[in-house]
């Protein structure tokens, strides 16, 4: 049987074997969730690398759920004060960064760019020093489906827009024109491989659950949660799972509950609110935020 979600196998690629730690850190700006969930008490959160759960646990009661046992165990280690580890996503990104010198991105140039705090200056620096013809050609090649297929499954790649390299370059340029690099840990994580949340944090305010989100929420009491942080778990999901999750979220949602979700896809024409530009992690096509009663599987 085909798994309802690509995350069920616990791997990014098409390989077989035990589940793995996929993400050592999260490339999602948790301040989006923090602002959207203001005044809420009970939060359901995808565990992933634990970064969002740890941030939300400062102000909320959090249930962190993940279908990947290795990923969940890593998030639990971090909640007990453990440090940041490398996951498969970081290994892929390290491989890509190894090509920087070949496109003219010297370490000193990247360092100078990351030190900037004036967005107008960042835009000029990007245009004049980094967004070169050689960089565009190399970046678009690395972001092509034929190359990404070596590290990511076809189901995860299926949601990417056509000419993904050009689309992703546009998202980076959009972010550099809005967010100051010097105070943006996500920019340093992307371009220099620096962990954005290295300081160990301990908390007992998170309950960790090994399950897929839809199955867990289907068993929860009605109205159990005031907010839902769903990451991008619907990327690579079958339509049947999208429908299950949307029904489960609406059932488990308290009155006026809020949902935040992400996707690497481009926003659909019917999307009314997209906070992708506000997300300092620079990567996302969709950062949706809205009432749980209107949530329809990320659409």
Q: Residue 275, class by beta-carbon neighbours within 10 Å (0-12 exposed, 13-18 middle, 19+ buried)? A: middle
Of all residues in the chain, the percent with pLDDT exceeding 70 is 97
pLDDT given at position 204: 86
Place of tokens 């245009």: 127
| pLDDT at 264 exceeding the cut of 60 | yes
Tell me whether strands 286-291 and 225-229 are parallel, antiparallel or unpaired: unpaired
Q: What is the mean pLDDT of the chain?
A: 95
pTM for the model: 0.95
Q: What is the pLDDT of residues 181-194, one digit of tens each?
A: 999 999 999 999 98
| pLDDT at 199 exceeding the cut of 70 | no
pLDDT given at position 182: 97
pLDDT given at position 298: 58
Helix 88-97 × helix 185-192 angle, to 10°:
70
Q: What is the pLDDT of residues 91-126, one digit of tens each?
A: 999 999 999 999 999 999 999 999 999 999 999 999
pLDDT given at position 49: 96
């Amino acid at each position: 049987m085909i798994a309802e979600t690509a995350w069920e196998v616990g791997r990014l690629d098409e390989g077989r074997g035990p589940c793995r730690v996929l993400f050592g850190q999260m490339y999602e700006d948790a301040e989006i969730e923090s602002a959207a969930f203001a005044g809420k008490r009970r939060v359901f959160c995808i565990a992933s690398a634990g970064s969002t759960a740890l941030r939300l646990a400062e102000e909320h009661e959090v249930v962190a759920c993940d279908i990947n046992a290795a990923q969940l165990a890593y998030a639990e280690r971090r909640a007990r004060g453990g440090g940041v580890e490398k996951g498969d996503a970081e290994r892929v990104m390290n491989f890509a960064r190894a090509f920087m010198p070949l496109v003219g991105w010297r370490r000193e140039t990247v360092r100078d760019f990351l030190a900037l705090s004036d967005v107008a200056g960042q835009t000029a620096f990007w245009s004049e020093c980094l967004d070169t013809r050689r960089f565009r050609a190399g970046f678009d090649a690395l972001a092509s489906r034929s190359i990404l297929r070596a590290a990511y499954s076809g189901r995860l790649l299926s949601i990417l827009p056509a000419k993904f390299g050009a689309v992703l370059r546009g998202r980076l340029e959009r972010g550099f024109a809005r967010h100051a690099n010097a105070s943006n840990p996500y920019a340093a994580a992307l371009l220099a491989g620096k962990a954005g949340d290295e300081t160990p944090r301990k908390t007992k305010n998170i309950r960790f659950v090994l399950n897929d989100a839809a199955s867990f929420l289907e068993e929860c009491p009605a109205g159990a949660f005031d907010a839902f942080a769903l990451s991008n778990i619907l990327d690579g999901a079958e339509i049947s799972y999208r429908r299950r999750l949307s029904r489960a979220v609406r059932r488990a949602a308290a009155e006026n509950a809020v949902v935040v979700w992400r996707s690497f896809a481009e926003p659909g024409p019917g999307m009314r609110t997209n906070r992708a530009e506000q997300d300092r992690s620079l990567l996302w096509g969709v950062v949706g935020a809205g009432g749980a009663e209107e949530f329809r599987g990320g659409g």
